[in-house]
Each structure stands twice: as structure tokens, then as C-alpha cells.
């Protein structure tokens, strides 16, 4: 088994920003501004004391956006996290911080990671090392060590990209995966038949994780992992970007510039209420929407760039 980045001795904390369900993405963005790119959104349905109108559900959706960190790291970034949350959420944000019980964190993730199966034209199976799984002939298996970076297949936004990728890749494409995290989408693209895959991330830990995932899947030579955002002056047949609604809007012009004539763009990482604004930004830079893919409240979109 590959060494974990979290040692047995470090104390871990769960630091969470409590928000309204609709503000979860802003809290994710606050964590990112503080340098944490793998926060997790944990939704809670709250009962109210009022009786609902017959046939209606008046529970409210709350969310906690949690980061699981070594205590020392939390102390270092707490001021930045609180400032970013106050800026983005517009009020005094509520943080809850608790120490996680001591245990062997090197294997704690085993509790949470089972095999993930993503149906599509090709069924994609994500297999963590502690779960033996003999693949069927029609399955595409990705071997992945969870916990190194975002992108384990547990999150809807990743699964939406995997589904769209399995529909879009015919073989031979040049693919760019922006914000590769664990490298899961880059590996899927290569295994589905892409000719060349470039995977970028601005987080050096994600870059290491993606290289490790590529190696683990025997694809080190076919996936070019770079610590970068969107490479200048390069053109791809297919670009995938599982980021956030804010980042997608910010990067819209660069994403379209990375597409060759007739190229396709898959975006994900947004919830339904943010769909319209992201769609408008991408249509505003000349892309045409081809499909919206839903899973729970999350949405993925497929766009194309017109042929010149």
C-alpha cells in the first residue's frame, strides 16, 4: 500500500462552516481561498416545529462545509478561513471545530470508501486498494487511493464528469483535465481511449496525487500532469473542468481558448441554482450548450465550440 500523507500521530480536527444549503458553494470557495481544496459539503435536513401545509414539506436544507485537517494546519489557516468566509458569506460565519477521536488515520478512510460504479456507455468502476474487485469484460476499472486529493468518485460532480466522458470519448482525442485533483478524470479519459491527456492543478498535493494515480493505473507515460491552470496557446478536442460555479465563470474565456475548432467542454461542480449564471457565462464566450446532466442537486454541462 502507498504511504499516506497523514501520520498516525497527528491530531486531526473537523472544522466546519455552517450555512444555508444554497450557500454551500460559497463556503467551499472560502475554504479554497484559505488553501483547502478538498472540503466536503455535508447536507442536513432540518425539521421545523411548524406543521407543514398538507402535501408540503417545509423542512429547510442546511449544510456544513467541513475540512478535515491536522490541528496544526487548522491553527495556521484559521484567520484566513474566517476572513474568507466573512467576505463571501456576508455575515459572521458560524464555525464548529472539533477534535476527531484518536485512531489510525492511515486506514480510517477504509470506513468510507467502497467501490463506486458509474453506469454509462462504458461502466466505470473506481476501486480502492482495500476492496478487491474482479472487473467484468465491459467494465473500465480505475485504481485509486482515496484521501490524497478530491476525486474519489464519491461526489456527484465527479460522477457527472465520468458519465459525460464515457459518452464523449470516441478514441484519439487530445484531452485537458483542469483541476485534476486525484487524477481520476484524466485516468478515465486515457482508459476510454484519449490519445493524449494533460492534467493540471494549482495544488501541488493534487499534482502528486494525480501522478500517483496515473502510475497506479499504468498510465504515467500517457498523462502529462502539470502544476498549472489552463495552459496558454494549447488546443484540445475535449476539456473537462470540475471546479466551482465561481471559478467556471472566472475562467470561461480561458476555457474556450483551450478548445480547438469543434471542441467540446464538460463542466461540473455546480448546484442547480447556479446553473443559469454559469451557462450564460459560457454561452457569452461563444459556446453552445448541448446537454445538462443531473445527479441530485448537482449539474454537469456539455458545450461545443463551433467549427471555424
Ligand X SMILES: C[S@@+](CC[C@H](N)C(=O)[O-])C[C@H]1O[C@@H](n2cnc3c(N)ncnc32)[C@H](O)[C@@H]1O
Q: Which is nearer to ligand X, 45 or 250 (CB)?
A: 250
Q: Which is nearer to ligand X, 165 or 287 (CB)?
A: 165
Min separation Cβ 51 and ligand X, Å = 39
Can you tell me whether residue 263 is helix, strand or coil? strand
Min separation Cβ 99 and ligand X, Å = 26
Q: Which is nearer to ligand X, 23 or 152 (CB)?
A: 152
96: Cβ–Cβ under 8 A, 6 or more apart, which residues?
A: 15, 16, 18, 64
Q: CA-CA-CA-CA torsion for 242, 248, 253, 255, nearest 10 degrees?
A: 0
Min separation Cβ 50 and ligand X, Å = 36
Q: Give the residue ranges of DSSP H helices in the chain.
A: 24-33, 71-89, 105-108, 156-168, 184-192, 204-216, 245-250, 252-257, 275-284
Half-sphere exposure of 303 (CA within 13 A, CB side): 28
Which stretches of the chain bind ligand X, using CB under 6 A? 37, 149-151, 158, 161, 178-181, 184-185, 200-203, 206, 229, 242-243, 247, 269
Q: Please tell me the distance from the alpha carbon of residue 119 to that of residue 160, in angstroms, as a whole number.
A: 10
Min separation Cβ 126 and ligand X, Å = 10
Q: Which is nearer to ligand X, 43 or 52 (CB)?
A: 43
Q: Which is nearer to ligand X, 66 or 185 (CB)?
A: 185
Min separation Cβ 141 and ligand X, Å = 17
> Among residues 168, 139, 160, 137, which one has the least CA distance to residue 241?
160
Amino acid at each position: 500500500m502507498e504511504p499516506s500523507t497523514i501520520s498516525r500521530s497527528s491530531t486531526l480536527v473537523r472544522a466546519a462552516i455552517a450555512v444555508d444549503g444554497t450557500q454551500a458553494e460559497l463556503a467551499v470557495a472560502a475554504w479554497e481561498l484559505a488553501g483547502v481544496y478538498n472540503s466536503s459539503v455535508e447536507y442536513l435536513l432540518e425539521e421545523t416545529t411548524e406543521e407543514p401545509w398538507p402535501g408540503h414539506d417545509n423542512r429547510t436544507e442546511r449544510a456544513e462545509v467541513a475540512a478535515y485537517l491536522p490541528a496544526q494546519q487548522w491553527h495556521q489557516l484559521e484567520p484566513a478561513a474566517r476572513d474568507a468566509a466573512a467576505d463571501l458569506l456576508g455575515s459572521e460565519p458560524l464555525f464548529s471545530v472539533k477534535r476527531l477521536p484518536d485512531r489510525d488515520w492511515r486506514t480510517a478512510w477504509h470506513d468510507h470508501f467502497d467501490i463506486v460504479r458509474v453506469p454509462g456507455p462504458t461502466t466505470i468502476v473506481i476501486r480502492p486498494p482495500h476492496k478487491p474487485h474482479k472487473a467484468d469484460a465491459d467494465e473500465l476499472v480505475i485504481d485509486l487511493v482515496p484521501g490524497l486529493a478530491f476525486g474519489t468518485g464519491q461526489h456527484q460532480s465527479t460522477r457527472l464528469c465520468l458519465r459525460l466522458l464515457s459518452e464523449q470519448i470516441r478514441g484519439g482525442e487530445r484531452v485537458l483535465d483542469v483541476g485534476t485533483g486525484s487524477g481520476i478524470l484524466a485516468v478515465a479519459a486515457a482508459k476510454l481511449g484519449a490519445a493524449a491527456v494533460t492534467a493540471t492543478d494549482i495544488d501541488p498535493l493534487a499534482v502528486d496525487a494525480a501522478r500517483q494515480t496515473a502510475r497506479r493505473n499504468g498510465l504515467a507515460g500517457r498523462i502529462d500532469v502539470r502544476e498549472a491552470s489552463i495552459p496558454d496557446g494549447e488546443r484540445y478536442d475535449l476539456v473537462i473542468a470540475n471546479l466551482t460555479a465561481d471559478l467556471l465563470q472566472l475562467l470561461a474565456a480561458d476555457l474556450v481558448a483551450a478548445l480547438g475548432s469543434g471542441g467540446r467542454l464538460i463542466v461540473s461542480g455546480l448546484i442547480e441554482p447556479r446553473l443559469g449564471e454559469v451557462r450564460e457565462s459560457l454561452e457569452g464566450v461563444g459556446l453552445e450548450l448541448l446537454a445538462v446532466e443531473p445527479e441530485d442537486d448537482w449539474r454537469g454541462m456539455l458545450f461545443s465550440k463551433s467549427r471555424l
